[in-house]
Structure 1
Amino acid sequence: MSDNVTSQLDELDLQILDLLIKDCRTPYLEIARICHVSGGTIHVRMKKMEDLGIIKGSKILLDLAKLGYDVCCYVGIYVDKTSSFQSVFEEMKKIHEVVELHLTTGSYSMFAKVISKSIKDLQNILLEKINNISGIQRTDTFISLSQPIDRNIEL
């Protein structure tokens, strides 16, 4: 967070965020009870943090394996030239198995998190979708064997 935004938060704001990080479905009245303030105060604080861009929405966490997505991998992407970045971003957005895309430093231009139902599906995603994007020079793929840590930042 930039110092400008950080300076606009107080201890109550941080306490609210901490509770929501632990369970984003906590009702505002429950948060108010825990924080010893009114429900209206929580609404006002939430609106402030949304306006500041600190809270961007909420997400549902899915157990992807139970939905048939058993393979998770990371793809290091080499882009052929800087002018190709935007078109590569746009094409990667169209691949629904790409769940994250990061612009990176180091060896790769980009790093993507990709989910698939099987190794065969992953092969298809890599060969028919990702590697066919104009501007991608080549890729390196790393299959995730497990995810022993999965957490949000603590404030």
Structure 2
Amino acid sequence: MIADDHSSLARVQDVAAPPREPYALDAIDLALLKILVADCRASQRQIAAILGVSAPTVGERMARLERNGVVTGYRAQVDWSVVGYGQVVFLSIEAAPGYDVAAIMAGLWDLAEVEDVTLVTGELDLLIRMRVRDYGELRTILMEQVWRIPGIQRTATLLSVAEMPAKDFGAGLLHKLEPS
């Protein structure tokens, strides 16, 4: 889709995650988050015992953290390589001049194999992380889906040959935070 505004980036804010206001965490909130990051299946009663507060207090705190967008969900982490999606692929994408980058981002996001779509600065426009079963599936996705998205001028495909084990990313950052 050709951008109907002056900038091919004019609609990116329509598809990108909105910026969030920082939320002030107190010591109990921070301790609660550390417990949830370590074990999101811990019961409110278990968490209350660890924190030395009542279970209703934990429930109220969790609800407030959810309402304010601090906690966005509770989910299982799947090792996709174990279930057949072991090949990690990065695509760098350059949009054609005048094309709506938001439409390209949305088209890529709709692909089931895509894990992440990021608008970046520099010589390319987008960096995509996706998972595929094998080279044949990658070839099919590129030819039948990615390269058919209007506005994609150029892609570069990078295949992962080794990865570090999954990192408990949030736990490291939580230890750096101080209560507000």
Same fold (TM over 0.5): yes
In structure 1, runs of 5+ residues without a counterpart are: none
Q: Which amino acid aligns with 1:111?
A: L
Q: What is the CA RMSD across the aligned residues, in angstroms? A: 1.8
The runs of 4+ residues in structure 1 deviating greater than 2 Å are 4-7
Q: Which amino acid aligns with 1:69?
A: Y
Tell me, in whole angstroms, the C-alpha distance in 1 between the residues paired with 2:40 and 2:162: 25
What SS is found at the alignment partner of 2:29?
Answer: helix
Q: Which residue of structure 2 lines up, in the alignment, with residue 24 of structure 1?
A: 40
Do residues 5 (structure 1) and 22 (structure 2) align?
Answer: yes
In structure 2, runs of 5+ residues without a counterpart are: 1-18, 175-180
Instruction: State whether residues 85 and 133 of structure 2, in contact with CA within 8 Å, keep that contact through their aligned partners in structure 1.
Output: yes
Alignment of 1:2-151 (within 5 A): 5-7=22-24, 9-81=25-97, 83-151=99-167
Instruction: State whether residues 5 and 52 of structure 1, in contact with CA within 8 Å, keep that contact through their aligned partners in structure 2.
Output: no
What SS is found at the alignment partner of 1:111?
Answer: strand
Tell me, in whole angstroms, the C-alpha distance in 2 between the residues paired with 1:82 and 1:59: 39
Aligned length: 153
Q: CA deviation at 1:147?
A: 1.8
**Identical residues among aligned pairs (%):** 27
Q: CA deviation at 1:83?
A: 4.5
Q: CA deviation at 1:62?
A: 0.9
Tell me, in whole angstroms, the C-alpha distance in 2 between the residues paired with 1:120 and 1:19: 42
> TM-score under structure 2 normalisation?
0.78
Instruction: State whether residues 75 and 113 of structure 1, in contact with CA within 8 Å, keep that contact through their aligned partners in structure 2.
Output: yes
Greater mean alpha carbon deviation, residues 38-47 or residues 100-109:
100-109
What SS is found at the alignment partner of 1:65?
Answer: coil
Instruction: State whether residues 92 and 127 of structure 2, in contact with CA within 8 Å, keep that contact through their aligned partners in structure 1.
Output: yes
Higher normalized contact order (CA 8 Å, seq sep 6+, divided by chain length): 2
